Amino acid sequence: MSGKKTPKRYGWNTPVTAIGPQGGSMLRSIKSITSDPLTYLEATWSEFGDVVQFPIPKPATYLVTSPEGAREVLVNQHNETSKRTLQYNNLSLVTGEGLLTADTQAWRPRRRMLQPAFHKEMVALSVNHIEAGLAKLDAQWLELTSEGTAIVDIDHAMMSLALEITCGALFGIDVDDDVDEITSATLIALHGVVARARNPISIPLGFPTPANLRMKRAIKRLDKAVDAILSSRNLSKLPADAPIRDMLDVLLDPDLEIPLTKQQIRDEIATFIVAGHETVASALTWAWHLLVTNPDELQKLKNDPTRAQLVFDESLRLYPPAWVITRRTLSDLTVDDVLIPANSLVIVSPWLVHRNPKAWENPTAFMPDRFKAGTPQLGYIPFGAGARLCIGKEMARLEGSQILAHISTTWHIEAVHNSQVPIDASVTLRPVAGMPVRISRLVK
């Protein structure tokens, strides 16, 4: 811990209630904060401990990295926090006020309304879409490996596969020809979100800077995908008493207590396209990275594909796609004995919570077997926690485990990169320059 003196206030009357870096040192670190935020956060945590205050006057900004602190913010004090943070406000430029970004009042009835689309039996239906997506991937890879081996970008492959599964399972649509355009529009839009959140002077989206124009084009492309989904369902309307097939049926249900407006339907579809595929793809990409750089674990998975769930859960621990979760405090909170005043920004970091030795033995080692005893209550938050827990958690775990099991028993996959793959910490964790791997068909 540092014994450096901290000022009593950071300006705008913002009190200092926890230790943390000084303004000068943070200014000197600006380049590494933007280029490699994970390393900066790790260094800050190791120097100052589990609750850190940054020298930012408005809003007062805290980093929370202890398992108990994360639980306090996300679960126990859920009613005393809000999603009106810079990060979620910027994300809503892309997703609108969908379930992910909506704040408590709008969120509560919406979550109740959408929950049936994620009941166990509905999630089980996504198996058909997972199998169809994998069959398509096998066919593409067979063509590529007709001469023996091929090098593929598994990150790109996982993005396409996850998008096809999401659109098939939630909206009953085959996005086949549009996959590349939609995945790339998603990435461009999300990069825009992060760039805006990291820039202290955000220029309004309406102002035609090159970055704004790029982001607007990407949002327009996502809107086109939403329109295609809606017009496909207009062609296959259900009789009034038919059981729901997927989430789109729920959104369009005319018997809802308060039927959704056009804009609300658009926002939910855009939310689920974005939240439902990029996260799963990121998780799978890093799972492959961990497997090809730990060939013993890959071999164990080939021998026993039922291990896929352990592998996926452990990959999510080491590479949680949502590496920060933000909240604004609505009242004074006490987290790990530190007072966090009302109106502060709290950054809970799954990346750091999952590396905290208070929760994990040998935290940086890839050890899928540690999940044999189940997922712990404390210190494991890849899907968040509490009332705002990811609604797609079980769908994602099913998708992740099925995909790992199928590919590892059908294809031989080898690393072509070093064990160090630079990480682009965007809205989710992505490899900076894709994740090339060498593939060949396994002879059974």
Contact string (CB under 6 A) for ligand HEM, positions 399-418, x = contact: --------------------
Among 183, 271, 329, 349, the residue binding ligand HEM under the rule CB under 6 A is 271
Judged by CB under 6 A, does residue 391 bind ligand HEM? Answer: yes
H or E element that contains 348: strand 345-348
Query: Coil, strand, or helix at residue 364?
Result: coil
Q: Which residue is nearest to ligand HEM (CB)?
A: 392
Judged by CB under 6 A, does residue 288 bind ligand HEM? Answer: no
As measured in angstroms, the least distance from the Cβ of 350 to ligand HEM is 7
User: What count of other Cβ atoms lies within 10 Å of the Cβ of residue 229?
Assistant: 23
Measured torsion, CA atoms of residues 164, 166, 169, 175, in degrees rounded to the nearest 10: -30
Site for ligand HEM in 160-199 (CB under 6 A): 166
Interface region with ligand HEM, contact rule CB under 6 A, candidates 129-137, 255-263, 358-366, 391-399: 391-399
Q: Is the Cβ of residue 386 or residue 436 nearer to ligand HEM in the bound state? A: 386
Cα separation, 54 vs 43, whole angstroms: 13
Query: 23 exposed, middle or buried (CB, 10 Å; 0-12, 13-18, 19+)?
Result: middle
Among 20, 49, 69, 384, the residue binding ligand HEM under the rule CB under 6 A is 384
Q: Is the Cβ of residue 10 or residue 380 nearer to ligand HEM in the bound state? A: 380
Query: Coil, strand, or helix at residue 382?
Result: coil
Judged by CB under 6 A, does residue 345 bind ligand HEM? Answer: no
Q: Is the Cβ of residue 196 or residue 388 nearer to ligand HEM in the bound state? A: 388
The string over 300-333, giving b where at least 16 C-beta atoms fall within 10 Å of a residue's C-beta and e elsewhere, is bbbeebebbbbbbbbbbbbbbbbbbbbbbbeeeb
Judged by CB under 6 A, does residue 266 bind ligand HEM? Answer: no
Q: How many residues can be counted in the chain? A: 444
Contact 349, 63 (CB under 8 A): yes
Judged by CB under 6 A, does residue 280 bind ligand HEM? Answer: yes
Judged by CB under 6 A, does residue 388 bind ligand HEM? Answer: yes
Judged by CB under 6 A, does residue 321 bind ligand HEM? Answer: yes
Judged by CB under 6 A, does residue 310 bind ligand HEM? Answer: no
439 phi and psi angles, rounded to 5 deg: -120, 150
Query: Coil, strand, or helix at residue 119?
Result: coil
**Helix and strand numbers, DSSP H then E, in the chain:** 16, 12
Residues that bind ligand HEM in the complex, under the rule CB under 6 A:
99-100, 111, 166, 271-272, 275-276, 279-280, 283, 321-322, 325, 382-384, 388, 390-392, 395-396
